[in-house]
Amino acid sequence: MTSPKLETRKAANLAYIEHKGPYDKVPWDDYIKRLYGWAKEQKVMPGFYPMAIYHDDPEKTSPEECRSDIGITFKGRAKEQAGVKIRRMPAMKVATISHKGAGTEFKSTYAKLGDWIEKKGYRTSGPPIEVYSKKPEVVGGVTVLYAKVMMPVRKK
């Protein structure tokens, strides 16, 4: 895990599929295949790294009610189709930290990022975003996830 830092994200087009249910039960392979297939059909240039936006805190919301958007950025003009929606993600300041480890370790990654946000005089201003830089790998029977965790922030 790297140290948290502040970054500016540029505005981007996002193609996404809405998911409702436990975050650890998202059908990733299906959604990613559908998103990249949509991009090919729409003749747009997809981004390299898939992402997820997690709208609900699983500590406060039952797993069945947790909402997430699984998406890819893209360049070009496109239309919504077959469950794939599009929107413009605004430019934003984000506190960010890299995560490499089991999904069960995300809680400590988020805690470290939350502490840093507080110490630096920021407050969160939107739901967390996780950008996946590499496919998960199974190492010694444990699924290792590679993600950049981003939390939109603004000064208090």
- Phi and psi at 144, nearest 5°, equal -100, 125
User: What is the number of domains present in the chain?
Assistant: 1
Least confident piece of the model among 77-81, 105-109, 138-142: 138-142
CATH number of domain containing 111: 3.20.80.10
To which H or E segment does residue 112 belong? helix 106-119
Residue 12 pLDDT class (50, 70, 90 cuts): very high
Provide the pLDDT for residue 1.
61
Provide the pLDDT for residue 115.
97
Question: Could you list the residue range(s) of the whole structural domain that residue 29 is in?
Answer: 5-155
Question: Max alpha carbon distance in the chain (Å)?
Answer: 46
Locate tokens 């895990």: which residue? Answer: 1
Least confident piece of the model among 22-26, 34-38, 73-77, 92-96: 22-26
Provide the pLDDT for residue 35.
98
- The pTM assigned to this predicted structure is 0.93
